[in-house]
Amino acid sequence: MDGGPLALDACSLSEAVRNKEISVTEVANAVVSQIEQKEPLIGAFLHLDHEALLERAALLDQKIAKGEISGRLLGVPVALKDNMVTSDMPTTAGSKILEGWRPPYDSTVAKLVISEKGIVVGKTNLDEFAMGSSTENSAYKVTRNPHDLSRVPGGSSGGSAAAVASGMSTLALGSDTGGSIRQPASLCGVVGVKPTYGYVSRYGLIAFASSLDQIGPFARTVKDAALLLEVIGEHDSMDSTSILGERPKLLEREALGVQSLRIGIVSELVDNCSVEVKERVLAAARLLEESGAKVDTVSAKAVTLGLSAYYVIAPAEASSNLSRYDGVRFGLRKDGSSLTDMFLTTRTQGFGDEVKRRIMLGTYALSSGYYDQYYGKALATRQLIQRQFDEIYKDFDLLLGPTSPTTAFLVGEKFNDPMSMYMNDVCTIPSNLAGHPAISVPFGVDQSGLPIGVQLLGPAMSEALLFQGAFELERLAMQYLEDVGV
Amino acid sequence: MSKSRTAKEQEMSWVYEGYELVVGLEVHTELKTSSKLFCSCANTFGSTPNTNVCPVCLGLPGTLPVLNRKVVELAIKIGLALNCEVRKSTFHRKNYFYPDLPKGYQISQYDLPINSEGYLDLPSGHRVGIERAHIEEDTGKITHMGSSGRMDKSSYSLIDYNRAGVPLTEIVSAPDIYSPDQAREYVSELRGVLVALGVSDGRMEEGSLRVDANVSVRPIGSSELRTRCEIKNLNSLRSLVRAIDYEGKRHVKLYRRGEAPIQETRHWDENKQRTDSLRSKEEANDYRYFLEPDLKALAPTESLVLQIAGEIVDTPRQKRAFLVESLAGEEMADQIEKAIDHELFPYVRHAIEAGISPRLAVARTANELASIISDALYLTEDRFVEVLRLEESKEISSSQAKVLLNALCQQDQSVADTIESLDLKKADDAHTRNMVEAVVSDSPAEWSRFVEGQEQLMGFFVGKVMKLTSGKADGSVVKDILLQLRATKN
């Protein structure tokens, strides 16, 4: 990728294609050769079709030759997490229960990427139905962290994070229910954004927990993430929870700086992470202050309750969302001696352990007699967190914290310990419960050379300000690396 | 509800070996919209199976519901017509597994329905409380192939998802119904309301109106509510009446034996004329209701509710009131009930508004038009009025009027042309007198008995004259002539 089209950021790449400095076919060929080299080691993709990719590239080149050079992603490689429905590629959500399923329609995000002339590289690996923090729960393969192949890329959007980090795609889309974009972005050293709930259409996103799920971009730079979010952020009448009206411009926030922005360091989040991660968050805070931000520590006790509330609400919604996988209309069917037997056998063989675990948790939490004790309490906790954020945002514009408590862990290290796996999401979950946007920006590496991500959080629809902070944070990270002499 | 029972209610009451009935009804009605509740698929009955389907109503992964605004308007209309409070409401998921339920849950309304706490006044004067009338989606239709029609004995089943996602309103009554006849009265009045509002075609046989009955009994005069059973598969008013009667008696017999019914869902077996246990409370699904995260709360604006309230016209109650007022005290209750039918009422109203005597308009509507309306392809309201006007001015006889109405239903022809082609000019009085005299001289025995005072023979002679004149004679003129002739004989 050194020096080739894949070294360019998305904005420059589409500009080079538009100016006919590079053809889309050249871009596609570069992608194919990068994938041939890296994919066997990393395993980021569940579906690749080089032939289709090259055909699409040739078609775009023909159009460009005819002067059709519009499209904000013109010739830019984009990978899609395999829980986003595509009519020209299989969509499995990382589950055996959807093996070979060819959807008859396209997700809104896939349509938007294609209409802006992006080239879809393939469908990326994920924890089954996006349930996990390491991508080890995929029914198909394990994805490796490009920075250390013995380690996980994080999850559940581990395939998308690893694809961008390894240069197999310039951009990627992931989904974030409790941190599934930001945590793998942090572990793979790329930028990852979880927008405001309702900012990006969920139509065609295979639901995990509907009130928490949100699609967002992965990119190597904040600028590229802004570009992709500008493309996919649009009201969609097919999604009743889609926010009405215009989305703010993000790219224009690049050089505004953080002068007089009020930024709060959430002490409860910082206290929950490793020494090195904590040290890095505080370094970022210091540099932001030097850039003119007003930085202060703030306590948000309710966020510590987020994890417990999340692991009731998300499984509860999932238990209902996953009821449609019954063997009747699509996907896997295992025949049985009776209707109930068919349902049971199909679901027993089709779902993996983590999915079953969450269906059981969620079913229990919603059962009559237990609803008030679990689901009702979790909803009340969610409201408590939302109210606490509302209070805090009276005094602060943005909040700062770690993205993940630790850097990438070893493949297999936490696989048999669900509770310690769930702890990975402790810093990211509060934004999902509140419906707020958050962005993870790489901020150097730890002693073992593993990436560390720093997270900026903002109130609902604060994307413009959030990106303004993220652009500065990215610049400060470069400065920091120079200062410490990396 | 009203404590003092009217005479009509007494007549309808159900008592069996010291027990009385308590019934609450759940009525599901399919709403007549052009598209489904959450997608743009056509909402039509009888299409080729699985042709009115899309990723959304098939519940494919990744799809989301988008609420049909028209459904909300129709549901509000129903609520207002049933005197309900229309308020901010939410959608819930009702979770259970069945092959006709594409998503594994039904989107329905739970603790906050769009309409609540209303009532429906029945023609007998009884008031039935309406607990709620909420919006929900229909399931697909499953057909178990094989001789029995039951899943456990069939070799395979076919599912048609055309009905999946069709909008329904479920109207739940309070347990204010005390007899099978009252249940019938409630359902037919409710049906009349729904048809009048234009929200449903009200066809029970096609399943666009479906009724479940919650039945219990209690010692006469008691106010307790005992264990109830829910009866399903009531496909006609007849089966509704019979099933409630059967079920009530079953409960009484159990109590008389010192036993008690258990709370369960029962199935009305039309062939055996009995209810059978379908599933008990223990076997019932735990539906795990929770707020549907894919839809926002529904908060109709006051102006929308007001606008819809203004659109509610021609409920059975309003139509009845119009006719009673027009008739100014004339007792025609049975004909009124017939004439308020949604197909007939426009004719009678048009006639009365055009100045036809209300009595004649109601009579022709309820007696003649009612029996031919299903074939009335061409009879316009204006032609109906024209015929009644001719009858009123005695240019044609009443029997000619009936013949004329029949003919006008069959073909698209003006009244004048039809009269011409059927040769329906009313006979003049002189001709009628000749005919009467001919009939009288043909039947001397009957005539002398009539002269002796056997009044019932009047009909015999009138009939004969009518036959002889092919209905062209005016019945009342014939009667007058007969009476004159008799008077001169005496």
Residue B61 at interface with chain A, using a CB cutoff of 8 Å: yes
Neighbouring residues of A291: CB distance < 8 A, sequence distance ≥ 6: A257, A258, A259, A472, A476
Catalytic residue among A14, A38, A81, A107: A81
pLDDT value, residue B29:
96
Portion of chain B with pLDDT greater than 90, in percent: 61
- Residue at a domain's end among A253, A276, A309: A253
Are A47 and A90 a contacting pair, CB within 8 Å? Answer: yes
DSSP for B412-450 reads ---HHHHHHHHT-PPPPHHHHHHHHHHHHHH-HHHHHHH
Which residues from chain B sit within 8 angstroms of residue A85, using beta carbons?
Answer: 60-62
Residue A348 at interface with chain B, using a CB cutoff of 8 Å: no
Are A112 and A231 a contacting pair, CB within 8 Å? Answer: yes
Which residues from chain B sit within 8 angstroms of residue A94, using beta carbons?
Answer: none
Residue A364 at interface with chain B, using a CB cutoff of 8 Å: no
State whether A179 and A52 are in the same domain: yes
Residue B90 at interface with chain A, using a CB cutoff of 8 Å: no
**How far is the C-alpha of B222 from the C-alpha of B228, rounded, in Å?**
15
Of the candidates A328, A331, A336, which has an alpha carbon nearest to the alpha carbon of residue B157?
A: A328
pLDDT value, residue A299:
95
Half-sphere exposure of residue A247: CA atoms within 13 angstroms, side-chain side: 26
Nearest-by-Cβ selection for B62 from A107, A320, A367: A107
- The token pair at B423 is 């040769």
pLDDT value, residue A1:
47
Beta strand extents in B178-238 (DSSP E only): 209-219, 229-234
Domain span at residue A269? 262-299+395-484
Residue A338 at interface with chain B, using a CB cutoff of 8 Å: yes
**How far is the C-alpha of A47 from the C-alpha of A169, rounded, in Å?**
14
In a domain, A86, yes or no: yes
Are B21 and B225 a contacting pair, CB within 8 Å? Answer: no
Q: What is the pLDDT of residues B20-62, one digit of tens each?
A: 999 999 999 999 999 999 999 999 988 999 999 999 999 999 9
Residue B39 at interface with chain A, using a CB cutoff of 8 Å: no
In a domain, A363, yes or no: no
**How far is the C-alpha of B212 from the C-alpha of A440, rounded, in Å?**
55
Are A73 and A226 a contacting pair, CB within 8 Å? Answer: no
Residue for token digits 């990627």?
A: A172
Nearest-by-Cβ selection for B95 from A85, A323, A338: A323
Q: Minimal Cα distance from B102: which residue of A?
A: A324
Residue A368 at interface with chain B, using a CB cutoff of 8 Å: yes
Q: What is the pLDDT of residues B204-216, one digit of tens each?
A: 888 889 999 999 9
pLDDT value, residue A351:
98
In a domain, A316, yes or no: no
State whether A285 and A158 are in the same domain: no
In a domain, A366, yes or no: no
Which residues from chain A sit within 8 angstroms of residue B35, using beta carbons?
Answer: none
Nearest-by-Cβ selection for B64 from A202, A209, A326: A202
Of the candidates B301, B27, B295, which has an alpha carbon nearest to the alpha carbon of residue B172?
A: B27
Residue for token digits 């109106």?
A: B209
- Residue at a domain's end among A197, A223, A253: A253
How would residue B281 be classed by pLDDT, with cut points 50, 70 and 90?
Answer: low
- Closest approach of chain B CAs to the CA of A18, in angstroms? 34
pLDDT value, residue B9:
60
pLDDT value, residue B2:
42
How would residue B3 be classed by pLDDT, with cut points 50, 70 and 90?
Answer: very low
Are A277 and A406 a contacting pair, CB within 8 Å? Answer: yes
Residue for token digits 């240069």?
A: A167
Catalytic residue among A107, A180, A186, A462: A180
Neighbouring residues of B306: CB distance < 8 A, sequence distance ≥ 6: none
Q: Minimal Cα distance from A236: which residue of B?
A: B66
Residue pLDDT tens, chain A, 486 long = 456 899 999 999 999 999 999 999 999 999 999 999 999 999 999 999 999 999 999 999 999 999 999 999 999 999 999 999 999 999 999 999 999 899 999 999 999 999 999 999 999 999 999 999 999 999 999 999 999 999 999 999 999 999 999 999 999 999 999 999 999 999 999 999 999 999 999 999 999 999 999 999 999 999 999 999 999 999 999 999 999 999 999 999 999 999 999 999 999 999 889 999 999 999 999 999 999 999 999 999 999 999 999 999 999 999 999 999 999 999 999 999 889 999 999 999 999 999 999 999 999 999 988 999 999 999 999 999 999 999 999 999 999 999 999 999 999 999 888 888 888 899 999 999 999 999 999 999 999 999 999 999 999 999 999 999 999 999 999 999 888 865
- Closest approach of chain B CAs to the CA of A460, in angstroms? 17
- The token pair at A84 is 């986003």
Q: Is the pLDDT of residue B5 over 60?
A: no
State whether A194 and A268 are in the same domain: no
Angle at CA of residue A188, ends A185 and A193, nearest 5°? 10
**How far is the C-alpha of B458 from the C-alpha of B302, rounded, in Å?**
64
Question: Which of A84, A102, A205, A329 is the best residue to mutate to test the B interface, defined by the most B CB atoms within 10 Å of its own CB?
Answer: A329
Residue B95 at interface with chain A, using a CB cutoff of 8 Å: yes
In a domain, A452, yes or no: yes
Q: What is the DSSP letter of A248?
A: P
Higher-scoring residue by pLDDT: B90, B409: B90
- A294 assigned to active site: no
Of the candidates B466, B99, B415, B58, which has an alpha carbon nearest to the alpha carbon of residue A336?
A: B99
Contacts with B, A 200-219, CB within 8 Å: 202-207, 209-211
Higher-scoring residue by pLDDT: A438, B284: A438
State whether A176 and A268 are in the same domain: no
- A180 assigned to active site: yes
Neighbouring residues of A59: CB distance < 8 A, sequence distance ≥ 6: none
| Overall domain count for chain A | 2
State whether A149 and A286 are in the same domain: no
Which residues from chain A sit within 8 angstroms of residue B159, using beta carbons?
Answer: 328
Residue B99 at interface with chain A, using a CB cutoff of 8 Å: yes
Indicate the pairing of strand B274-280 with strand B105-108. unpaired
CA B445 from chain centre, in angstroms, equals 50
The stretch B296-312 carries a mean pLDDT of 93
Are A403 and A428 a contacting pair, CB within 8 Å? Answer: yes
Amino acid letter at A239? D
Are B418 and B407 a contacting pair, CB within 8 Å? Answer: yes
Beta strand extents in A187-267 (DSSP E only): 191-194, 215-219, 262-266
State whether A293 and A247 are in the same domain: no
Q: Minimal Cα distance from A129: which residue of B?
A: B61
- The token pair at B476 is 């009342």
Q: B394: part of which helix (H) or strand (E)?
A: none
- Residue at a domain's end among A220, A253, A286: A253
State whether A133 and A184 are in the same domain: yes
Neighbouring residues of B25: CB distance < 8 A, sequence distance ≥ 6: B172, B173, B177, B183, B186, B187, B211, B212, B213, B214
Which residues from chain B sit within 8 angstroms of residue A238, using beta carbons?
Answer: 64, 66
State whether A88 and A193 are in the same domain: yes
**How far is the C-alpha of B426 from the C-alpha of B92, rounded, in Å?**
67
Residue for token digits 């309820």?
A: B366
**How far is the C-alpha of A207 from the C-alpha of A213, rounded, in Å?**
7
Burial A227-262 (b: 16+ CB within 10 A, else e): bbbbbbbbebebbbbbbeeebeebbebbeebbeebb
Q: What is the pLDDT of residues B433-448, one digit of tens each?
A: 888 888 888 888 989 8
Q: Is the pLDDT of residue B149 over 70?
A: no
- The token pair at B261 is 């019914």
State whether A166 and A287 are in the same domain: no
Answer yes or no: do B159 and A328 touch at CB < 8 A.
Answer: yes
- The token pair at B260 is 């008690």
Residue B64 at interface with chain A, using a CB cutoff of 8 Å: yes
Here the CATH number for the domain that contains residue A73 is: 3.90.1300.10
State whether A176 and A294 are in the same domain: no
A412 SS3 class: coil
Answer yes or no: do A368 and B64 touch at CB < 8 A.
Answer: no
How would residue B339 be classed by pLDDT, with cut points 50, 70 and 90?
Answer: very high
Question: Which of B56, B63, B160, B295 is the best residue to mutate to test the A interface, defined by the most A CB atoms within 10 Å of its own CB?
Answer: B63
- Let me know if A376 is exposed, middle or buried by CB neighbors in 10 A (0-12, 13-18, 19+): middle
Residue B293 at interface with chain A, using a CB cutoff of 8 Å: yes
Question: Distances from the Cα of B191 to the Cαs of A129, A404, A417, B315, in angstroms?
Answer: 46, 61, 59, 10
State whether A275 and A248 are in the same domain: no
How would residue B364 be classed by pLDDT, with cut points 50, 70 and 90?
Answer: very high
- The token pair at B377 is 């392809």
Q: Enter the ipTM.
A: 0.96
State whether A188 and A284 are in the same domain: no
In a domain, A451, yes or no: yes
Answer yes or no: do A319 and B288 touch at CB < 8 A.
Answer: yes
The stretch B83-109 carries a mean pLDDT of 96
Are A84 and A204 a contacting pair, CB within 8 Å? Answer: yes
- The token pair at A444 is 């150097």
* Packing angle of the helix pair B316-327, B345-353 (nearest 10 deg): 40
In a domain, A155, yes or no: yes
pLDDT value, residue A479:
92
Q: Minimal Cα distance from B101: which residue of A?
A: A324
Q: Is A457 left (phi over 0), alpha (psi -120 to 50) or beta?
A: beta
In a domain, A343, yes or no: no
**How far is the C-alpha of B396 from the C-alpha of B267, rounded, in Å?**
55
Nearest-by-Cβ selection for B99 from A203, A339, A371: A339
Residue A319 at interface with chain B, using a CB cutoff of 8 Å: yes
Answer yes or no: do A241 and B103 touch at CB < 8 A.
Answer: no
